[in-house]
Amino acid sequence: MSLIRPLSQSRDRITADFFVGSYRFSGSVVAHRYSMIKILNDKATDHLTLVDIYISPFNKPGEIVRTQKRGLLIKDKIDFILLPPETSQDLKEKTQRANEVALPVYITLPSYEIGGKLQMHGSTNAKALLTGDTRKFLPILDAMARNAFLPDIKYQSPVLLVNKTRIQFWSLGDGG
């Protein structure tokens, strides 16, 4: 039996894909046993420390143009975060609450459009969620992100974390 756990399952690191502007940064956040949501909402720091980073342009997601052992990522510049299945499934279970409803949501970001479901209290309105909610990142359930310029490039996840400050347009409920 191996005593070494994969990085994505380590309690000290959380592996994820960070979409920022024209790039996708795949790497691990040094978490020190904190959750990704807690790290992102920590007001004491404006950046994430990433390790073991692979950098790809958003239009060629499979092409690694550079690797770095360590680097900083500015939280406010992150468009969205794609978590690995084991992390996102755990977060999805924590996000779903009995007194909340899941509403369809459509969001546009500078280079991506996001579809999925947003957990919220039935009485909460969309504007209050964006302006009054203290969370910087919103968990979108059963999410799909599509590149606005190259629609064949898509990502799916049980949970995607969207930076509220990067939202250009959003709508709750079914379109139509």
43-95 confidence digits (pLDDT tens): 899 999 999 999 999 899 889 999 999 999 999 999 999 987 765 555 555 55
CA distances from 3 to 6, 10, 14, 33, 97 (A): 10, 11, 18, 18, 35
Query: For tokens 């996102």, what's the residue?
Result: 88
CATH number at 55 reads: 2.30.30.100
Which amino acid is residue 136, in one-letter code?
Answer: K
Q: Is residue 2 part of a domain?
A: no
- Specify the pLDDT at position 163: 94
Task: State pLDDT tens for residues 141-158.
Answer: 999 999 999 999 999 988
Q: Are residues 58 and 108 in the same domain?
A: no
Give the whole-angstrom CA distance, residue 94 versus residue 45.
Answer: 24
Q: Which of 82, 113, 129 is the last residue of a domain?
A: 82
- Specify the pLDDT at position 76: 94
Q: Are residues 77 and 89 in the same domain?
A: no
> By the 8 A CB rule, do 43 and 75 touch?
no
Q: Are residues 72 and 96 in the same domain?
A: no
Q: Which of 82, 113, 133 is the last residue of a domain?
A: 82
Q: Are residues 50 and 112 in the same domain?
A: no
Q: Could you tell me which residue, 31 or 131, shows the higher pLDDT?
A: 31
Considering only 4-18, 75-89, 101-115, 148-162, which range has the smallest mean pLDDT? 4-18
Strands 47-57 and 23-30, by their bridges, are antiparallel
> By the 8 A CB rule, do 113 and 145 touch?
yes
Q: Is residue 1 part of a domain?
A: no
Q: Which residue in 131, 117, 126 sits closest to 165, CA to CA?
A: 131
What's the DSSP call for residue 92? H
> By the 8 A CB rule, do 8 and 73 touch?
no
> By the 8 A CB rule, do 71 and 52 touch?
no
- Specify the pLDDT at position 125: 64
Q: Are residues 41 and 62 in the same domain?
A: yes
Query: Into how many domains does the chain fold?
Result: 2
Q: Are residues 40 and 105 in the same domain?
A: no
Q: Which of 57, 82, 107 is the last residue of a domain?
A: 82
Q: 21 Cβ partners below 8 Å, 6+ apart?
A: 58, 77, 79, 110, 111
Query: For tokens 């969205």, what's the residue?
Result: 80
Give the whole-angstrom CA distance, residue 50 versus residue 72.
Answer: 6
* Segments forming the whole domain that contains residue 161: 85-172
